[in-house]
Amino acid sequence: MPYHHRNTARRTLTLALAATGCCAVLAGCGASQAASQSGKAQAPQGESGTQSRPPFASAPAAPRPTRSPVPARGSGSLAGRTVVIDPGHNSGNFHHSTEINQKVNIGTTRKECDTTGTSTNAGYTEASFTLDVSHRLRDLLTARGAKVVFTHDGERPWGPCIDERARIGNAARADAVVSVHADGSAAGHRGFHVILPAKVRAGSADTAKIVAPSRTLGERIADRFARATGTSPANYIGDGTGLDVRDDLGGLNLSTVPKVFVECGNMRDPKDAQLLTSSTWRQKAAQGLADGIATYLEG
């Protein structure tokens, strides 16, 4: 989930994938309405809506995924474009609760630096999922000529915080930023959704210039994601559109470039979890994200 998601179980041209607050990041994704729909408003939430506590009492940090080789930059349709990918959460967050619980300014208020993200009932963590999908997405985008920047690549002991994730996309002057997440809602809640920035102007936050392009980016991703994965928009948020507008996520509020959060599915639903834990399906998810980003950047 994006790090400060409003669901109970948690919530580079330049493209920033942020792979916050559907946990994960990802302070990892109309907050009160979604909270009531998903039933996640009762637990502490992160940038993506994921629970800020481990799913089990002593949940260990997941092993770092093996990095795939980075393809040489090509001269494809995305040459000259920058995409920032933001893998929601970090497996090390489980062991750094003090650090990730420190609050940072998101313009409208202060929120926790990050959260642990959610997991499947069997313990496959959102942080492992988001990093794996982000690697696959990077390879697909670089093969098309894009320059890809990560907010982190599992090399940090924890974080980065949600405000830093936003700054990385801004500094890269990304054509697009995508934050990759998975939600942690109730069983029976199925499907994907894309979180779009609301119009916010408060403190250091001013999203006026990115609201429209971010919506276009989100719509393209939602369409292509559905085609590539064969899954449907969420049945518990977004009224069947697969789109949700939020004003409480620091990763979106502090962005000065087009940015969205993508909750690829619900890790707490057994049927969705079966998809999310499949490497074949994760490749389809990455393909859908890449196709959506490409159609947006190509106009």
CA–CA gap between residue 264 and residue 284 (Å, rounded): 11
In a domain, 8, yes or no: no
In a domain, 4, yes or no: no
Tell me: pLDDT of 66 over 90: no
Annotated catalytic residues are 263
Whether 140 and 74 have beta carbons less than 8 Å apart is answered as no
Q: How many domains does the chain have?
A: 1
CA–CA gap between residue 140 and residue 291 (Å, rounded): 9
Secondary structure class of 98 (helix, strand, coil): helix
CA–CA gap between residue 87 and residue 150 (Å, rounded): 8
Is the N-terminal amide bond of 160 cis, ω within 30° of 0?
yes
**How many Å is the Cα radius of gyration of the chain?**
16
Tell me: pLDDT of 41 over 60: no
The pLDDT tens digits of the residues spanning 205-263 come to 999 999 999 999 999 999 999 999 999 999 999 999 999 999 999 999 999 999 999 99
What residue numbers bound the domain in which 228 lies? Answer: 16-60+73-297
In a domain, 1, yes or no: no
In a domain, 3, yes or no: no
Element holding 194 (H helix, E strand): strand 193-197
In this structure, what DSSP letter does residue 238 have?
S
The pLDDT tens digits of the residues spanning 184-205 come to 999 999 999 999 999 999 999 9
Residue 244 in tokens: 């949700």
Q: What is the CATH number of the domain that holds 186?
A: 3.40.630.40
Mean pLDDT of 159-178: 98
Tell me: pLDDT of 43 over 70: no
Residue 206, strand partner residues:
201
Residue 166 in tokens: 């936003």
In a domain, 237, yes or no: yes
pLDDT-derived band at 2 (thresholds 50, 70, 90) equals: low
The whole-model pTM stands at 0.80
pLDDT at 76: 85
Is the N-terminal amide bond of 69 cis, ω within 30° of 0?
no
In a domain, 198, yes or no: yes
The pLDDT tens digits of the residues spanning 104-147 come to 999 999 999 999 999 999 999 999 999 999 999 999 999 999 99
In a domain, 10, yes or no: no
In a domain, 249, yes or no: yes
CA–CA gap between residue 137 and residue 238 (Å, rounded): 25
